[in-house]
Amino acid sequence: AQPGAPAPVAAPMRELDWGQINFLHTTDTHGWLGGHLQEAQYSADWGDYISFTEHMRRKADEKGVDLLVIDTGDRVEGNGLYDSSDPKGKYTYDIFREQSIDALCTGNHELYLADTVAREHSITVPNFKKNYIASNLDYIEPETGNQIPQAQRYTKFKTKNQGYNVVALGFIFDFDRNANNSVVQLVEDTLKEEWFQKAIREKPDLFLVIGHVGLRMKEFEQIFKVIRDENWYTPIAFFGGHAHVRDTRKFDDQAFAIASGRYFETIGWMSIDGIKKKNKGDVSAEASVSFKRRYIDNNLLGLYHHSGLNETTFPTEHGRNVTKMIAKARNALDLDYTYGCAPQDLWVNRAEYPSNTSIFTWLEKEVIPQSIVREERANQSRMAILNTGAIRFDIFAGAFTKDSTFLISPFTSKFNYIPDVPFAVASKVLQLLNSGGPVFSSSLDAKYLTIPEQFVPGFSPSERSVTEEPLVRILESESQKPLSGEQEPDLVGGYTTKDDLGEDGDDAIHSPIKFYQVPNCVESRIAFPEEGDPETVDLIFIDYVQPWIIPALKFSGGDYSNDDVEVYVDRTLTDVIEAWVKENWSENC
């Protein structure tokens, strides 16, 4: 863990079930390679994960089974360690590559900006040359304009100890907001490609499908159907992500998918037993395969527990060096530099919106009205719209650092506007954005305005749970009691996941709490007349929302196009929040 990270307290634990093939999985780490410095439950860093993996690989060798390490993308955007350097990722690409990863793919965050796409192609792909898979993603070479696969379309390999033949595929969901030096092929079309049809006829012992794909999205289902039609009994292991939740989905008795949360809070564990090795010429034969899963809270006590080691025996030399690399990078970037002192916790979805503890209420009532102004139009009534997905993380009471600004909002989106929109038209926009529906084309689903945890309708994050109190404070104030005798233990708050395999997936047994739905967008009304409505307003919006604003305006009776849009404030939300905190929370903690 990083210097200054809070120490975790032991919780009652569920063990890892080992099988013939075992997997460790990360996804949506978004640059959190230093771990969580304000939450003890997730405070282990990438160096600790490297130590853990080395121990688990040794254990696998001792047992004569296999262990594969997977990452399913969105490694960038969301943490000062990645976002605050120039160029972005100056340190994180080198830190990330220290882990030995058997299969990895691209997420949508590696594709939003042309620079990020190019860095992925020139740094991460060669760093993991043999193991990077891009089944439906191409890169446009700047020198030639040629469209080439971002990486190999699929891999074939034999596992080290059990000698299983594996065919591995690596997808990104049908993403269409990618920069124009990348091309995402629809999954449905990729499945018809000749190479794919060949891959699914390789008759391996196991198909490994990794993807930056939410488990409840259509893409994994499409892939499952096509592989299964050709291979009636071959086990298929899916590793997904994107929705930022812990989840396991059963496709059939021999095909399961796991998603391992977000922000390096979770290390996913999947194990498979009962795989039948095919002899040459064998057709697929029915087998009784069992899949197990565990969501490991990423903290040192848990990692000691699962590796059977302790503070002294756990850190490997390699792991220790990577922990030092991270600390050095954090220092070089001055990430602990304090801009101010947050007087209270402000939650993304652990508090109701609107409320005094909602981060969106704070932005809507304080930050936006006080910060989003264009001098020459300061007296013009204005409405400013922010999508809730623009906010990625909570604010904890206490020191608000340079790092905090990027944890909350890493994006480079700025503020645009359309001047002098009739109020009668502008006032209908927010409601349309929040209700979604047929106003927007299918590729413009309004759910992509909100936080990823709400992407799946009816899949309430309240089932996914976290503590009402920041974990650090709970851990400081309460000692843990063992799970024995009559006494109910005082459980640490944390994830209490329900998935297709039941309610026993999390390694640490936690007390659950409530999550709340947040709207797709929030709106501030600024410089409005004291009485009555203005005739016209400047309609301001963060630029990510623009593709939804234009159809919403059209539906409301305003015939606007992208040509009517101008820059309102040439600053990112990150810049805006930083300036506001310096001005308003300037006292020392």
Ligand X SMILES: Nc1ccn([C@@H]2O[C@H](COP(=O)(O)O)[C@@H](O)[C@H]2O)c(=O)n1
Three-state DSSP at 420 gives strand
CB nearer to ligand X: pick between 244 and 525 = 244
CA distance 519 to 282: 54
CA distance 232 to 325: 47
CB nearer to ligand X: pick between 320 and 447 = 447
In sequence order, what are the beta bridge partners of 207?
Answer: 167, 236
CB nearer to ligand X: pick between 53 and 181 = 181
Q: Which of 363, 394, 92, 172 is nearest to 265 (CA)?
A: 394
User: 96: part of which helix (H) or strand (E)?
Assistant: helix 92-96
CB nearer to ligand X: pick between 396 and 541 = 541
Q: What are the two backbone dihedrals, phi and then psi, of residue 275, each rounded to the nearest 5 degrees?
A: -70, 130
The three state secondary structure string of 206-260 is: EEEEEEECCCCCHHHHHHHHHHHHHCCCCCEEEEECCCCCEEEEEEECCEEEEEE
Shortest approach of ligand X to residue 24 CB, angstroms? 21
CA distance 210 to 207: 10
Shortest approach of ligand X to residue 448 CB, angstroms? 4
Sequential DSSP letters for 517-577: ---SEEEEEES--SSS--SEEEEEEEGGGHHHHHHHHHHTT----GGG-EEEE-S-HHHHH
Cα torsion 249, 251, 256, 260: sign: negative
Shortest approach of ligand X to residue 229 CB, angstroms? 30
Shortest approach of ligand X to residue 53 CB, angstroms? 24
Shortest approach of ligand X to residue 247 CB, angstroms? 14
Three-state DSSP at 104 gives strand
User: 271: part of which helix (H) or strand (E)?
Assistant: strand 266-273
Shortest approach of ligand X to residue 542 CB, angstroms? 7
Shortest approach of ligand X to residue 28 CB, angstroms? 6
Shortest approach of ligand X to residue 110 CB, angstroms? 10
- The single-letter DSSP state of residue 120 is I
As a residue count, the chain comes to: 589
Q: What are the two backbone dihedrals, phi and then psi, of residue 587, each rounded to the nearest 5 degrees?
A: -65, 155
Shortest approach of ligand X to residue 189 CB, angstroms? 22
Binding site for ligand X (CB under 6 A): 28, 74, 108-109, 112, 242, 244, 387, 389-390, 411, 413, 448-450, 452, 544
CA distance 524 to 385: 7
Shortest approach of ligand X to residue 441 CB, angstroms? 16
CB nearer to ligand X: pick between 316 and 387 = 387
Shortest approach of ligand X to residue 362 CB, angstroms? 17
Shortest approach of ligand X to residue 409 CB, angstroms? 8
CB nearer to ligand X: pick between 27 and 467 = 27
The three state secondary structure string of 477-518 is: HCCCCCCCCCCCCCCCECCCCCECCECCCECECCECCCCCCC
Angle at 571 between CA 113 and CA 517, to 5 degrees: 75
Cβ atoms of residues 133 and 210 within 8 Å: yes
CB nearer to ligand X: pick between 185 and 546 = 546
The first and second tokens of residue 206, run together, are 């196991």
Cα torsion 73, 49, 303, 130: sign: positive
Q: Which of 228, 518, 269 is nearest to 391 (CA)?
A: 518
Look up residue 275 and give its amino acid: I
CB nearer to ligand X: pick between 112 and 207 = 112
CB nearer to ligand X: pick between 108 and 404 = 108
CA distance 136 to 300: 37
The first and second tokens of residue 313, run together, are 């025996």
CB nearer to ligand X: pick between 131 and 450 = 450
CB nearer to ligand X: pick between 96 and 314 = 96
CB nearer to ligand X: pick between 325 and 384 = 384
The first and second tokens of residue 382, run together, are 């204005």
Nearest residue to ligand X by CB is 389
Shortest approach of ligand X to residue 430 CB, angstroms? 16
Provide the 10 A C-beta neighbour count for residue 403: 24
Shortest approach of ligand X to residue 386 CB, angstroms? 9
CB nearer to ligand X: pick between 319 and 389 = 389
CB nearer to ligand X: pick between 248 and 572 = 572
